[in-house]
Structure 1
Amino acid sequence: MSELLDQFLAEGQELVEAASEHLLALEREPGDRASLDGAFRAVHTLKGAAALFDLSPMERALHAAEDLLDALRGGRVPVGRAALDPLLALIGASEDWIAAIARTGMLPEVAVAQGGALEQALRAAETTPVGGPTASAATPPDWLPDLMTAEAAAIAAAQAAGHRLVALRYEPAPDCFFMGDDPLALVRAVPGLVALRLLPRTPWPETGPEPFTCNLVIELLSTAAEAELRPVFRLVADQVAMLALAAMPAAPAGPGAEPVGRSLRVDAARVDALLDLVGELIVAKNGLAALVPQAAVADPRLGQALAEQQAGIDRLAQALHRTVMGVRMIPLARTFRRMPRLVREAAAALGKPVALELRGEAVEADRAIVDGLFDPLLHLLRNAIDHGIEAPAARIAAGKPEIGRITLEARREGEGIVVEVADDGRGLDPTRLRQVARERGLLPEPALAGLSDEAALQLVFRPGFSTAAAVTTLSGRGVGMDAVRAAVEALGGRVTLATRQGAGTTLRLLLPGGAAVTTLLLVRLGDEVYGVPVEAVAETARIPAGHILPLHGGEAFVLRDRTVPLLRLAALLGLPAGPRGAGVPVLVIGTGEARVAVEVDGFAGRAEVLLRPPTGLLATMPGLLGAALLGDGRVHVVLDLPGLIG
């Protein structure tokens, strides 16, 4: 694939996301001029890029979209569903086409028919006449740039405080005084006034102003909405022009302006290669640490000098690792901002009005995690629309707003991140889940009868489980939450579920912030040494063998007045167990009532490693997080104890 095509694919995805974001903002606020201009620029740039390659169906459809957006900008077509629906459909198709080009180097076969249909729909929307207030996104009047330039400081201050501004121009009639109008009294009645300009309509005469003639043009900015301003000027509405401002246009940089930041597009493979080198450096650093005590035995002064140098190399290796990881970190907005359009399409297909709220888009994570979250998040959002959010009539009958609400939120927790998908729908019914599992034969009847409500909720993660009554384009095929869990676990995370009947469901994805250096607790089992991430272990202990008692076919002991079940690591790995000594080393996993202890043969210290995820056949093995190379040159298996325990 050529370098030029690679650049097109990367920039094309960014342009698709930008166009989608601007169009959805325009749907929420049809008068948002900045969103309309942003959508036009994105589509125009994408069309120009497609013209460089043999992508005729894509280019023609984008050209039709560009013409439609130009008609919207000129006020010749109203901003409404008739125009936005085909525009958003084209953006969705463009995203699919770009993905197909990335896979195969060419457009899919359906692109010709699909692009032709979209082109016709866009041309049809372009012929829609203007009618009603939706045409408020016309070309801005010629007075607006001067006002925004003169009041740039006031606009910046108001928008920095989170206010949306309305620009207003009032040109009183010259004989307004004889009609009982008082222009300055009207200005004093404007709510949320932040800036005011008084200009002469015509140059002042040399003899001075005419006392009975109004020669003023009044321009102002207000934080009040247009609906609040219209009543103030209702008697002079024909003399007033208003326009909502979405954003402050960036001022051109002068010769003395300081750059606000520079970016450099780097192939991700180069960053990955650099990270691999950092991993090798950490391994070499660990090997040097192992030589320090040996050198101290031979020559204490040499050992001390070597230890000091090793500490310096350790600090540099950690700093280098943090820097490289920073290069790989990108905002979750890259994935989050693709969701509103897809949620809109799914909600429209099911006839359910849904509002999606995004929070925490600026939270950063490793690029692999941000990209890998797209599929599981899309499935969770579609699942929330299909199974969680009720039909409008059912919501009204339950005393809920007709429009369902879904929140997609990200936040940092410790070294990792939490991503939540929450809806205000019907929630999950454990009794219904047991019934579905019974009908589908997923568990034998005795096992189902013994399930607690909390355990019944976990049935949704079993392969083949679906509560859909019929197969649709969104659900019903039994490929669901188990795929979500597998995708999240492949990213090094886990999924939890909380629900309240009638109030909604929340899915929490607990994810690592990035492929950071992992601190391992090394444990011995026979002649082998295994690694366990320190954060997975609540505590370690040595339990007298006499305190371990049989319990329900297993073993347990009492730790601080709590009974803790005991499992043997050898049994979890299918290995023969060795003899038990007087003091039994254990790792305690979990908290509260969910604590479980795992018996090992001994502890072998700690190590900082760059964890290598499993690949090939090893990637499908449960309980395996990956492998790590230590300073002594040996490769150690890193275990996922919660996964082994189940």
Structure 2
Amino acid sequence: MELNQYLSMFIDESKEHLQAINENLLKLEATPEDISIVQVIFRSAHTLKGMSATMGFEDLASLTHEMENVLDLVRNHKLQMNPFIFDTIFRSVDSLESMVHDITAGGTGKADVTEIVQALKSIVSGDYASGGAASGSAAGESAPFADRLDEFQYSVLLQSLEAGMQVYRIEVALQATCILKAARAYMVFDTLEQNGEVVKSFPSVEDIEKEKFDRGFTVFVVSHVEAAVLDKAVANISEIERVEVAPLDADALFKLKAAGGRDAAGASTSAAPAEAKAQTSALQQMSAASAVLDKPAAAGSPASAPAQAPSAAPVGGRTIRVDIERLDVLMNLFSELLIDRVRLEQLASEIRVNDLTETVEHMARVSTDLQNIVLKLRMVPVDNVFNRFPRMIRDLAKSLDKKVDLVITGAETELDRTVIDEIGDPLVHLLRNAVDHGIETVAERIAAGKPETGTVQLRAYHSGNHVFIDIQEDGKGINRDKVVKSAIEKGVLSAEQAKSLKDEEVYQLLFASGFSTADKISDISGRGVGLDVVKTKIESLGGNVTVASKLGQGTTFTVQLPLTLSIISAMLIRMGDEKYAIPLSSILETSIVQRDQIRLVHGAKVIQFRDHIVPLVSLSSLFDIPSYSEANEAETEIVVIRKGDKMAALMVDEFIGQQEIVLKSLGLYLTNLFAVSGATILGDGQVALIIDTNALIK
């Protein structure tokens, strides 16, 4: 009990220290001579070592101690950082993260770190310089153990078979062009876990997470669905070259177990279950907890009993898994409650009975607190996606022999969980594209008079009921003529059509399926290769993607995503007989302007607002409202809205006030409406359209 009391604190602090080490290692790689950064990394490693030893996680403490020895030499000027040392420490941090994840999932935090420890020791002794250290290749990748089951795995699969479920052996091969193999493998595991349970993988889950495999891996799966369903589900994942699903019966399982038993002769009887348990823990990290595995591990594997130390107990009270559909139901029910609350508030203001008014006010306060909790349940910072990109960019730039800085801003911006889960893959495509074909080589940048290090900026920010993510690089930009020429050659458009296209329309051609302007298609990306996938995925989420580019200066991809919230704060306005809602998050200020303050610039109305010239938009003209026109007004009320660093002013008739509103879709028949993102039901039963302010700012 006393140990578990501090386990939650240990996990949180360990993750913070590991994240700090990762970030500071990237900084140190940029400025290797800055010993102050080494001091910060050393302190984090030293603290992590002490905490691990105190909690009894010896493998964690041992690996961190070896890291500490290397860092100690560096900070005392007895050793200089070089690519091999950086790569080894990065691999060490990856192993530490895997062990902490295992502990979080209830595991013991044990892992085979022999190879990395040897590499760290060789750095301390100096042997690595003469080739004494391992190169980091995955030992055992070629060992033919894919079809061998230990006692624990055999027990799980056989009991599942006897319970009426299907057991499959699935071979998966990735395409040779696949860069992020671990991420693609995760998608395969996630798909399989949605249709069943993974009992064994070869290579191990830990090796797969570290990309210690070639292009293929094998998994044994327990499922209730047909083989064809699994085959199709995995084959639909992009960058999968081949899938083979083979059903297994009891005889086949026995033969595989016998093969495993012969190879394990002389080995520790507890080794196989411990390894299987570690794999199970890692899979739990990837997806839902395995009910099938839990039962045999407790009842059918006596050898696993010694591992039941206090540190192996699951972390209680930290998180629980909730089906996303239940959260959807909760959100819908609360939305209806909010509509009734607004109606009650209106009735109370009309009836004016003190007891009723006090009760309604109390209910409003309670429901507001409840609303905040309901909204936050589904919201996750985009940092959950962004935090893996610095390492990806670092590795990508290294493989391309380029110098690239990734600058992240707005990582605290929150998005709906379902959008977060889906947005990672498109962003990976765009970032790979930016580094590979946007940023020039060092020689090209110097010749163009640019700094030798290119910059990729990844920005996230809220605007209205949308989140925008910008991927901006200062590379070579998109050659309009080259895009048009390629489009004409491929028959996408004629030469006559090409003459009338604006730049923005030309850049949209990049999203055509298979379209590319690259002279030579790279293994990593081609300008346009994979962008059709990006556009399809983002549009399936209710968003869109736009491109802006200047030749020789760089390119910016802007991804617009819906918050997918059912409840937002809005300003209700009146336009004649009609009411509209403007999302409060997009409103900068409200004001009143006189007719003589309105100017005409190139035929468009503008006003001066705080040293800025801001375009003026007439909502009565935009929505063709017959009951109101600003033309007859000596002065008009305005709402100043913003989208990023751009602003506009909307002319309105009257402000009603701020209100929490429920976002309702307009159904299947009213689609693609300009500047309208949905509707809401007001307290008096009237329907008000919700203005999409982002559509009004270009």
Normalising by structure 2, we get a TM-score of 0.50
Match of 1:523 in 2: 573
Gap change, CA 1:529 and 1:485, over 3 Å in 2: farther
Question: Are 2:159 and 1:57 equivalent residues in the alignment?
Answer: no
SS in 2 for 1:108: helix
**Taking structure 1 as reference, are residues 495 and 534 closer, same or farther at Cα in structure 2, changes over 3 Å only?**
farther
Task: Say whether 1:281 aligns with 2:337.
Answer: yes
Name the SS for the 1:29 alignment partner: helix
For residues 102 and 315 of structure 1, do their structure 2 counterparts lie closer, same or farther at Cα, with a shift above 3 Å needed?
farther
Question: What is aligned with 1:108?
Answer: 232
* Amino acid in structure 2 at the alignment position of 1:56: R
Alignment of 1:110-149 (within 5 A): 114-115=242-243
CA displacement, residues 75-109 of structure 1 (integer Å, 9 cap, x when unaligned): xxxx9x9x8241xx347x98xx99xx999842139
Look up the match of 1:305: 355
Cα separation, partners in 2 of 1:385 and 1:364, compared to 1, 3 Å: same
1:205-237 Cα distance to aligned partner (Å, 9 max, x none): xxxxxxxxxxxxxxxxxxxxxxxxxxxxxxxxx
Query: Quick one: which of 630, 635, 638 aligns to 1:583?
Result: 635
2:689 is aligned with 1:627: no
1:253 to 310, 324, 341: 310
- Flag the 1:492–1:540 CA change in 2: closer, same or farther, 3 A: farther
- 1:313 positional shift: 0.9
**2: distance between equivalents of 1:576 and 1:436?**
45
Show CA shifts across 1:388-413 (max 9, x none): 13357646877999997867676899
Distance 1:314 1:274 in 2: 18
2:660 aligned with 1:608: yes
What is the SS of the residue equivalent to 2:477?
coil
Corresponding residue of 1:213: none
Q: 1:527 to 1:36 in 2, by over 3 A?
A: closer
Aligned to 2:621: 571
Alpha-carbon distance in 1 for matches of 2:347, 2:481: 59
Q: CA deviation at 1:523?
A: 2.4
Q: Name the CA distance, whole Å, in 2 between partners of 1:110 and 1:605.
A: 51
Give the secondary-structure state (helix, strand or coil) at the position aligned to 1:515: coil
Question: How far apart, in 2, do the equivalents of 1:308 and 1:46 lie?
Answer: 63
1:241-272 Cα offsets, whole Å, 9 max, x none, are xxxxxxxxx994279x9955343322211111
Q: What SS is found at the alignment partner of 2:680? A: strand
CA distance in 1, matches of 2:216, 2:359: 60
What code does the residue aligned with 1:264 have? I
Partner of 1:29: 91
Q: CA deviation at 1:287?
A: 0.7
Identity across the alignment (%) = 25
- Counterpart AA for 2:212: L
Shift of 1:522: 2.1
- Whole-angstrom CA distance in 2 between matches of 1:435 and 1:358: 29
1:389 corresponds to which residue? 439
Q: C-alpha displacement at 1:322, in angstroms? A: 1.9
Task: Name which of 409, 422, 427 aligns with 1:377.
Answer: 427
Structure 1, gaps ≥5 residues long:
1-20, 74-78, 118-138, 140-249, 297-301, 449-455
Distance (whole Å) between structure 1 residues aligned to residue 648 and residue 449 of structure 2: 44
Preserved CA contact (<8 Å) 1:347 1:354? yes
SS at match of 1:426: coil
Amino acid of the residue matched to residue 346 of structure 2?
A: A
8 Å Cα contact 2:153-2:200 kept in structure 1: no
- 1:348-387 per-residue CA deviation (whole Å, 9 max, x = no partner) reads 9x96678897979887542123124234313312321342
Larger Rg: 1
Q: Is 1:372–1:491's contact at 8 Å kept on the other side of the alignment? A: no
The 5-angstrom pairing of residues 341-380 of structure 1 reads 365-380=415-430
- Secondary structure of residue in 2 paired with 1:374: helix
Aligned pair in 2 of structure 1 residues 54, 293: CA closer, same or farther (>3 Å)?
Answer: same
Shift of 1:306: 2.3
What one-letter code is carried by the residue in structure 1 that aligns with 2:590?
A: T
Whole-angstrom distance in 1 between the partners of 2:167 and 2:329: 33
Deviation at 1:515, TM superposition (A): 2.0
Tell me the distance in 1 between the aligned counterparts of 2:308 and 2:453: 40
Does 2:598 correspond to 1:541? no
**Residue 328 (structure 2) aligns with:** 272
1: distance between equivalents of 2:500 and 2:407? 43
Aligned positions, number: 463
User: In 2, are the aligned partners of 1:493 and 1:512 still within 8 Å (CA)?
Assistant: no
562 and 352 in structure 1: CA distance in 2 versus 1, 3 angstrom threshold: closer
Partner of 1:294: 350
TM-score computed with the length of structure 1 as normaliser: 0.53
Mapping of residues 453-532 of structure 1, within 5 Å: 460=507, 468-469=517-518, 472=521, 474-475=525-526, 480=531, 484=535, 487=538, 501=552, 515=565, 517-532=567-582
Once the 2 structures are TM-superposed, how far is the Cα of residue 535 of structure 1 from its aligned partner?
2.8
Q: Partner of 1:55: helix, strand, or coil?
A: strand
CA distance 1:631–1:361, change in 2 (3 Å):
same
For each residue in 1:423-479, what CA deviation from the matched residue of structure 2 results, as whole angstroms up to 9, or x when unmatched? 5x62536xx44774698669876886xxxxxxx689645776877245958445598
Give me the whole-angstrom Cα distance separating, in 2, the residues matched to 1:279 and 1:57: 44
User: How well do the aligned residues superpose, as a CA RMSD in angstroms?
Assistant: 6.1
Q: Determine the structure 2 residue equivalent to 1:17.
A: none
Paired residue secondary structure (2:232): coil
Please state how far the C-alpha of 1:311 moved relative to its aligned partner: 1.7
Instruction: Look up the SS of the partner of 2:320 in the other structure.
Output: coil
Alpha-carbon distance change, 331 to 310 in structure 1, aligned in 2, over 3 angstroms: same
How far 1:573 moved relative to its partner?
2.9
SS of equivalent residue, structure 2 residue 356: helix
Task: State the alpha-carbon separation in 2 of the partners of residues 537 and 395 from structure 1.
Answer: 41
User: In 2, distance between residues paired with 1:103 and 1:613?
Assistant: 38
- For structure 2, the residue ranges without an aligned partner over 5 or more in a row are 1-21, 23-85, 103-108, 113-145, 175-188, 190-197, 246-267, 269-306, 488-494
Q: In the alignment, is the contact (CA less than 8 A) between 2:516 and 2:528 conserved in 1? A: no
Do the aligned residues in 2 keep the contact of 1:325 with 1:514 (CA within 8 Å)?
no
Shift in Å, 1:552: 3.3
- Alignment partner for residue 428 of structure 1, among 458, 468, 477? 477
Change (3 A) 1:30 1:543: closer
Q: CA deviation at 1:604?
A: 3.1
The code of the aligned residue for 1:263 comes to: T
Q: Does the 8 A contact of 1:462 with 1:482 survive in 2?
A: no
Counterparts of 1:428 and 1:521, CA distance in 2: 40
Equivalent in 311, 314, 317 of residue 364 of structure 2 = 314
Q: AA paired with 1:107?
A: D
